[in-house]
Amino acid sequence: MMKTQRIVRPLAALLLVLIMAGCSLSSDPLRSSGQTSAAPDLVVGAPETAEGAVLAQLYAGALQTKGITVGIEPVGERVDYLQQLRGGTIALVPDHTGALLTELKPDQAASTATEVDDQLPAAAGADLTVITPAPATAQTVYVITKAVSDQRKITTLDELAAITAGTVLGGPAGLEQQKYGPAALTAIYGITFASVKAYPDSTALARDLGTGTISAAAFAANDPVLAGDSFVRLADPESMVLPQNITAVAGPALKANPTAIAAIEAVHAALTTQELTVLQSQVGSGTPVEQVAADWLKAKSLA
């Protein structure tokens, strides 16, 4: 017992010294590498998803290349981080155009990406800035296999009706209640399915689509299971699904820094849905998110 006390007491003393010195023994994987105890120039908020972590690290790396020190902090719901942005505790958060517009302007009537983008600046007001969106999107997309797409020459939703009669549509739970669900497919594109099957996860959904158990499926466009060339995301010419392009919303600190805004815009200009899907897949496979982001930025000459 005395021996244990001799070990514990020095350790307790060390912990007390570290705490009093403002040190931390915890390691937050969302914090950008190289962060020091000095306050960073800007703090990027990271939504607690794989996509959010990847985008926050991309932003941090691009900003650091411009000589701006960056911290990364996890953020919660949109309504909360918009308040943090307005208050200046964080400077930038990745977001999705359609969802952001709906939060800022619940009565919006946009349907196309252009309409969403045009309405966002006014909806954001004077205290927020919406960064020019990326081509990459996180919206729901309808997908078929590449083999079927090539065989039947189907690349858009208005061509899908030719193969769906008597077949099964797969998707996440609640798809039938969405404004872009099966009823909208029928009303807008004349697409009908014999039934709709709900899946608990996208891995099982992709498996059944690949084996032909279902003929089409609804996924998040940047779901890592869509990485590679086995599946084709069908274009939505009637804009049935509200566009959800990757964007970022900024508070006053970043709004006053044109160099920082230009750095984020450069990331967005280079980021496609397919590339974002691959980046998330790499993180899911165990590669540290900092390394995934650094490699991509280097490949795009942004670091």
Mind listing the pLDDT tens digit of every residue in the chain (303 residues)? 333 333 333 333 333 333 333 333 233 444 444 444 689 999 999 998 889 999 999 999 999 999 999 999 999 989 999 999 999 999 999 999 988 998 899 888 888 889 999 999 999 999 999 999 999 998 899 999 999 999 999 999 999 999 999 999 999 888 898 778 999 999 999 999 999 999 988 999 999 999 999 999 999 888 888 888 999 999 999 888 888 999 999 999 898 899 999 999 999 999 998 899 899 989 988 999 999 999 999 999 999
Q: Where in the chain do CATH 3.40.190.120 domains reside?
A: 140-233
Do 134 and 269 meet the contact criterion of CB atoms below 8 Å apart? yes
pLDDT attached to residue 88: 94
- Residues in Cβ contact with 21 at an 8 Å cutoff, skipping those fewer than 6 apart: none
Identify the CATH class of 27-137+244-299. alpha beta
129-130 vs 246-250, strand pairing mode:
antiparallel
- Residues in Cβ contact with 41 at an 8 Å cutoff, skipping those fewer than 6 apart: 68, 69, 70
Distance between first and last Cα of the chain:
55
Multiple choice CATH, 140-233, 3.30.365.10, 2.40.128.50, 3.40.50.720, 3.40.190.120: 3.40.190.120
Q: Which residue has the tokens 């990485």?
A: 227
Task: Name the nearest CA neighbour of 206 among 232, 179, 180.
Answer: 232
Q: Which residue has the tokens 């909208």?
A: 184
Q: Where in the chain do CATH 3.40.190.10 domains reside?
A: 27-137+244-299
pLDDT attached to residue 180: 85
Determine the Cα–Cα distance for residues 245 and 138; give it in Å rounded to an integer. 6
Do 156 and 184 meet the contact criterion of CB atoms below 8 Å apart? no
Determine the Cα–Cα distance for residues 115 and 187; give it in Å rounded to an integer. 22
pLDDT attached to residue 37: 62
Task: Name the nearest CA neighbour of 176 among 208, 199, 204, 148.
Answer: 199
pLDDT attached to residue 8: 35
Determine the Cα–Cα distance for residues 212 and 219; give it in Å rounded to an integer. 16
Taking CA atoms, 181 is separated from 21, 131, 168, 277, in Å, by 55, 30, 13, 23
